[in-house]
Structure 1
Amino acid sequence: MRIYFTFEPRPDLREPLLAQFPQVDFIFENGLSNEELEKADVLVTYGEDLTADTIQYATKLKWIFVASAGIEKMPAQAIMERGILVSNVRGIHKTPMAESMLAHILAIKRAVPWIYEQQKTREWSKKARQTELRDSTALILGPGAIGSEVGRLLQAFGVTTVGCNRSGKEAPYMDKMVSFTQLTEALPNADIVISVLPKTQETTHLLKEEHFAAMKSSTIFMNFGRGNLVDEKVLIQAIQAEEIGYAVLDVFEEEPLSSDHPLWTLPNVVVSPHISSHSSRYVERSLEIFKPSLTKWLKGETDLENVVDLSRGY
């Protein structure tokens, strides 16, 4: 069996993989080549290099392991037509992303950016506008692996967590659940609104003008899912009209964000360049998911962890 990685794990991660599966022919490259794709039985990729054109070379390919949670850049139709199984690393981002979100929330609540600015100007001032996180309410759109983890951390700080998904069914570390149809009614009670929703047709521009109008003027709005959640013109209007207190954004409709985009300079907006999931342990955690699945695959089993339904987009 030939397994083609389109990225190179560090030697300390690669060597144990080779030792555990001596019967497998592993190929490691930085980037995708059609020549290697023709020979591959299994492809391991971050999901951004495979296209509808290049997949035509993958005549032997039966399984694609995506070392990313997002699959929206992959040629879904072409993959489905060829009957190729796809699995990903859903849940791998929960630790770094939850920590990133909590860091931003605490920084705003405890006026950390203001303190840093005071240090730059060497000004001794106690006029910081500091509030407490305890006894707040957080509305979490998409309480899956990532949303549940940030819910767990927020509950430890005495925050009431309300999850919101399509069905309204229970999710871990949520004190209450609502469905998408109940979203407008839930927003006025939220001090923090966090989205970690994936990119699907249903989530595209899910939040509209009336949703921001329903939020508290002090609300911290955070988008750490996908940039399609809200039309950026609607978001900018809400910020300028002071319908919300803060916007912390890790994702955008078009990335990278252009240097002249108004979000860079609007007050109370934090622009994070889609890095909340970054961690020195990323590939390590990816391989922790890949290895058990590969063990099953070598036995002829296909009930792998995190099998993706490409028709639904996740």
Structure 2
Amino acid sequence: MIGTEIPVLAVLCGDRRPPDMDAVEAAAEIRYTDEKGLPDALRGADALFVYDFLSTAVPGAWHAADRIRWVHIASAGVDPVMFPELRESDVVLTNSRGVFDDSIAEYVLGVVIAFAKDLPRSLELQRQRRWQHRESERVAGRRALVVGTGPIGRAIARLLRAAGLDVSGMGRRARGEDPDFGTVHASADLVRVAAGFDYVIAVAPLTDETKGMFDAAAFAAMKPSARFVNVGRGELVVTDELVTALRAGEIAGAALDVFDTEPLPVDHPLWTLDNVVISPHMSGDFVGWRNTLVEVFADNFARWRDGRPLRNVVDKQLGYVPSGH
């Protein structure tokens, strides 16, 4: 609640301004800025909208944030703004949870089917004009482990179950009788349980506990026929150890939408592996997604102006929005 004064809103957006901001612009003084101008935009601002959610500029400019009370990021992941000064402050942090759930789930189902039906090889043979008959796998009856039990993970679980897969989850703590996953394993048990699954899907938030959780030990524990899918964060994976596992045949393939370095360098060995599907951090980006992100922010802005409870409030100690919030 900020009373009757006109709030000052800094918007980190670079050269691409967010669409459909008319309602917000009518109710606030807006300072659109790129990374270079962020410190000046933050001085005297009441709130910050991190529309450029891939930017890592906020920590370096935070010294100028002398009045900020609320930060909203246009993504589900909040790791770009999880620096100590913000984490330890009383500034409220919200994210855009819910925007990308179904589209990311569709991507995951798509790559599962692509692997099972050997579609990448079919496209390559088509380009070569080669008629090469092969047998393909069924997806029904295969087992999938979804590592990350938030809304995106649940959307993935529901869609994979609808396709006939047997789905389990993995989260901070083990539990049974979950409505979407059935059984949820504890993340600490990844190496112990990974061998039981044909697809291992990473969608966990990036935290101190999850960073690098997919390492040599995790890949060695998986079936040689297993496929790994990462739609979470690139830093969940020790990339060099994934490359080694793929080359050694410790796992059969990987579909990767996120990387620890983006864009993926042109000379990176992942480009050369024929058992890898690469997409440029686009699994959730459906037509109109930018407008939807602004709708989520504009709704929260109206709530903030009116003093009503905000949606998608992040627990800054956990690094994500707890279930039920």
- In the superposition, the TM-score normalised over structure 2's length comes to 0.85
Structure showing greater relative contact order (alpha-carbon pairs closer than 8 Å, 6 or more residues apart)? 2
- 8 Å contact from structure 1 (residues 140, 161) kept in 2: yes
Equivalent residue in structure 2 for 1:25, among 24, 28, 32: 28
The Cα of 1:158 is off from its aligned counterpart by 0.9
* SS of structure 2 residue aligned to 1:177: strand
1:26-78 Cα deviation digits (max 9, x unpaired):
42635253333224212111342543342222222211111112222226222
Hey, what does 1:122 align to over in structure 2?
129
* SS of structure 2 residue aligned to 1:79: helix
1:134 aligns with 2:140: yes
User: For residues 124 and 224 of structure 1, do their structure 2 counterparts lie closer, same or farther at Cα, with a shift above 3 Å needed?
Assistant: same
1:85-104 Cα deviation digits (max 9, x unpaired):
11111232212211111111
Divergent runs of 4+, >6 A: none
Instruction: Report the Cα distance in structure 1 between the residues aligned to 2:41 and 2:211, rounded to whole angstroms.
Output: 36
Instruction: Report the Cα distance in structure 2 between the residues aligned to 1:77 and 1:63, rounded to whole angstroms.
Output: 16
Instruction: Report the Cα distance in structure 2 between the residues aligned to 1:9 and 1:61, rounded to whole angstroms.
Output: 20
Instruction: Report the Cα distance in structure 2 between the residues aligned to 1:177 and 1:35, rounded to whole angstroms.
Output: 46
* SS of structure 2 residue aligned to 1:161: strand
- Identical columns (%): 32
Equivalent residue in structure 2 for 1:56, among 48, 63, 66: 63
The Cα of 1:193 is off from its aligned counterpart by 0.6
Hey, what does 1:9 align to over in structure 2?
18
Equivalent residue in structure 1 for 2:263, among 256, 260, 275: 256
1:286 aligns with 2:293: yes
Hey, what does 1:42 align to over in structure 2?
47
The Cα of 1:123 is off from its aligned counterpart by 2.5
Gap regions ≥5 residues in structure 2: 1-6, 321-325
Instruction: Report the Cα distance in structure 2 between the residues aligned to 1:198 and 1:278, rounded to whole angstroms.
Output: 18
Hey, what does 2:254 align to over in structure 1?
247
* SS of structure 2 residue aligned to 1:140: strand
- 8 Å contact from structure 1 (residues 166, 180) kept in 2: yes
**Pairing of 1:226-241 with structure 2 (within 5 A):** 226-241=233-248
Q: Across the two proteins, how many residue pairs are aligned to each other?
A: 306
1:197 aligns with 2:204: yes
The Cα of 1:290 is off from its aligned counterpart by 2.3
User: For residues 102 and 83 of structure 1, do their structure 2 counterparts lie closer, same or farther at Cα, with a shift above 3 Å needed?
Assistant: same
CA RMSD of aligned residues (A): 2.3
The Cα of 1:172 is off from its aligned counterpart by 4.4
- 8 Å contact from structure 2 (residues 225, 251) kept in 1: yes
The Cα of 1:6 is off from its aligned counterpart by 2.6
Gap regions ≥5 residues in structure 1: none
The Cα of 1:9 is off from its aligned counterpart by 2.4
Hey, what does 1:145 align to over in structure 2?
151
